[in-house]
Structure 1
Amino acid sequence: MGSIQSKTILFITGAFVSNTCWDEWQKYFQSKGYSTSAPAWPYKDASVQELRARHPHGDKELALLTLHELVEYHVAIIKSLPEKPIVIGHSFGGLLTQIMVNRDLTAAGVAIHSVPPLGVFPYEFSFLKAGWKSLGLFTSIEETYMMSFEDWQYAFVNGMPLEEQQAAYDTFTIPESKTIARDALTSAAKVDFEKAHAPLLLTAGDTDHIMPAHLNNRNFKAYKNSESVVDYKMSPNKNHFVLGLPSWKEDADYILDWIGRN
C-alpha cells in the first residue's frame, strides 16, 4: 500500500459546466470506500436551467467572482473535512487542484486536463481559439459568459456524434464568470514549481482542443522538486469532455490505481 491513506475525495469542477459532471465519478469512488463531495462553485448552486435563465444580466455576483475568492472558497471546504483529502479537479478545477497541492492542503492531487498555472504559457492555437471568448474582451464584466453550442463543439466535445454533443451541452453547460477567466492570467493562478508537495498526477488527452496535451505536458515538466512525486498520463481519443466520455471509467480506474501506488 502506498503512502496516500486518505479516504476522502474532493472533486473540483471546472469552468462552463455544472458540478453534476462528477455524479458518476462520485458513485464510482464511493463504491471503492471513499467519502466524496463535489460542491458547486459560489453562485452556481442551482439547476442548469435556472442558471441559464439568469444569463447574462441576472447573475452579477457570479460575473464578478474572482479566482482568489474561488480558491479561498475551496480552501474553507478542505479545512472543514475530517482529513486532508485527495483532490481531483478537471480543467479550471485542475488549476485549483494544483494550487491546493501547492498550499499543502491535500493528501494527493489529480489534475485532469488542467488549466496551467501562471508561467506555463498557453500558446497553442487550439487553446486560443477555444478559450479567448471566455475573457469577454470589449464586453461588460458584470455580465456572465455563456459558451455557444458551436464553441462547445470545438472546445469540449469535438469528435463526438452530434446528438451526444447536443445532449452534453443541454445537460451540463452553464454561464461563467469572465473575471475568473481573466484571473487565470494573473498571480492568483501562481504556484511554486520548486516547492515540495504531495503526490500529483496530471492527465491529458490527445484530442483535447482547449487544453491540448502539449500544454499539459509543459505544465507537468514545470515541476522541479525531485523529492516529490509528479506523474503525467496522456491518453488517446480523449477530448475535454473526458469526465463524460463512454471511456470515463478507464480514467477513474487509472486514478484509483495511481492512488494505490503512491
Structure 2
Amino acid sequence: MPEALEVIAKGSATDSHPIPLLFVHGAWHAAWCWDDHFLDFFADRGYHAVALSLRGHGTSTTAKPLRRCSFADYLADIAAVADTLPTAPVLVGHSMGGYLVQKYLQTRAAPAAVLMASMPPSGYIASGLRWLRRHPWHFARMSATGRSLPYVGTLALARERFFSPSTPDDVVANCVARLQEESARSGLDGLYDRPRPERVETPVLVLGARRDGAVTELEVHETARAYRTTAELFPDMGHNMMLEPGWAAVGNRIDEWLGARGL
C-alpha cells in the first residue's frame, strides 16, 4: 500500500524565485516545524514552499511499523514529493533531514541544497556517544525498548537538545506538545548508512547554531568541508533553528543565498 504523505505547501513560484523549495524535517518532528514560520516567510518572498512529513510523522501514514522505517523509506518519501513538483526543488534539510538530503543528493539532481544543523557525513556515532555520556540510563532504556520519545519529550530534555537556554518556555512547550516517536531503525541507519559527499556536485549552504545541544560546531564545520564550502554559525541559537526566536535571520540568509544564485 503506498504511503499517504502529509504535504503543506504555500506560495507560488515567481520570476524572481522560479524553483520550489522542499523542506525536510528531522527526527521526532514533522512538517509543522516548517509551517510555524518558514513556509509563510518564503511564500511571502515569492517562493513555492513545500514541507512534507516523512512516513509515520505528522499525519503521514506508514504501511509497516514506524520502528522499522529506514532511511531508504524516508528517501523514497522525499523523492515521491519532489516528483510531484513542476521542476527539481531546492532541498532544505534540518538535523536528520539534513542527513537525508545529503544522501538524496548522491543519486538525484537538485539546483541547490541547504543543511541546517545537519547531522554530519560521519554519521550518528559521536552524537550517540555524547547522549550516552550525558544520560546513560536514557540511552540504556532506548536501546532496550526501541523508544526514544520519552527521552526528548519533556520541557527540560527538549530544551537541552533542541533549544538554547534563553528560548522562551512557551516556544519549547509548543514544540514538545507535537513531538512524535522516531524509528529505531533510522537510528541504526545513522550509524552505518553514511552519505558520500564526493558524489555530490550540488551547491550546498551549511548553517549551524552555537548553542546546539545535538550537533557540535566541529560537526557543522565537518559537514561544510565535506561539501567544499564554509559553515555559517548563528550565535545564541539552539538546534531548532527554524523555531528559535532568531529564526528570521536564518530565513533571510537562505533567501539571500538562493537569490544570489537566481533561485
Taking structure 1 as the reference length, the TM-score comes to: 0.80
- After superposing on structure 2, the runs of 4+ consecutive aligned residues of structure 1 that deviate more than 4 Å are 123-137
1:18 maps to 30
**Which residue of 2 is the match for residue 156 of structure 1?**
162
Q: 1:142-174 CA deviation, whole Å, 9 max, x = no partner?
A: x56442313212111231356235423444322
Structure 2 residue 191 is the aligned partner of structure 1 residue 185: yes
Partner deviation per Cα, 1:158-202 (whole Å, 9 max, x = no partner): 313562354234443222112111211112xx2222235111011
CA distance in 2, matches of 1:134, 1:18: 23
Query: For residue 38 of structure 1, what is the aligned residue in structure 2?
Result: 51
Does residue 242 (structure 1) correspond to residue 203 (structure 2)? The answer is: no
Distance 1:79 1:162, change over 3 A: closer
Higher relative contact order (CA 8 A, sep 6+): 1
Partner of 1:85: 89
Q: Do the aligned partners of 1:7 and 1:33 also contact (CA within 8 Å) in 2? A: no
Per-residue CA deviations over 1:36-64 (Å, capped at 9, x if unaligned) read 211111022339xxx9xxxxxxx971122
| Unpaired runs of at least 5, structure 1 | 52-58, 225-229
Q: Does 1:208 align with 2:212?
A: yes
Residue 122 of structure 1 aligns to a residue in which SS?
helix
**Percentage identity across aligned positions?**
21
1:56 maps to none
Cα-Cα RMSD: 3.0
Q: Work out the CA distance in 2 between the residues paired with 1:78 and 1:237.
A: 33
Q: What amino acid does structure 2 have at the position aligned with 1:28?
A: F
Output the amino acid matched with 2:178.
F
> How many Å apart are 1:257 and its aligned residue?
0.4
SS at match of 1:202: strand
Change (3 A) 1:245 1:95: same
For 1:101-250, list aligned pairs within 5 A.
101-118=105-122, 122=126, 126=130, 133=138, 137-141=142-146, 145-146=149-150, 147-149=152-154, 150-161=156-167, 163-164=169-170, 166-187=172-193, 190-223=194-227, 230-250=229-249
In the other structure, the counterpart of 1:54 is none
8 Å Cα contact 1:86-1:106 kept in structure 2: yes
Residues 165, 246 of structure 1: alpha-carbon distance in 2 compared, 3 angstrom cutoff: closer
Q: Relative to structure 1, is the Cα distance of residues 255 and 236 closer, same or farther in structure 2, using a 3 angstrom cutoff?
A: same
Preserved CA contact (<8 Å) 2:163 2:172: no
- Cα distance in structure 1, aligned partners of 2:179 and 2:134: 15
Higher alpha-carbon deviation: 108-117 or 129-138: 129-138
The verdict on how the C-alpha distance between 1:89 and 1:117 changes in structure 2, with shifts beyond 3 A counting, is same
| Amino acid in structure 1 at the alignment position of 2:49 | T
Code of the residue aligned with 2:153 in structure 1: it is S
> SS at the partner of 2:23?
strand
Alpha-carbon distance change, 197 to 130 in structure 1, aligned in 2, over 3 angstroms: farther
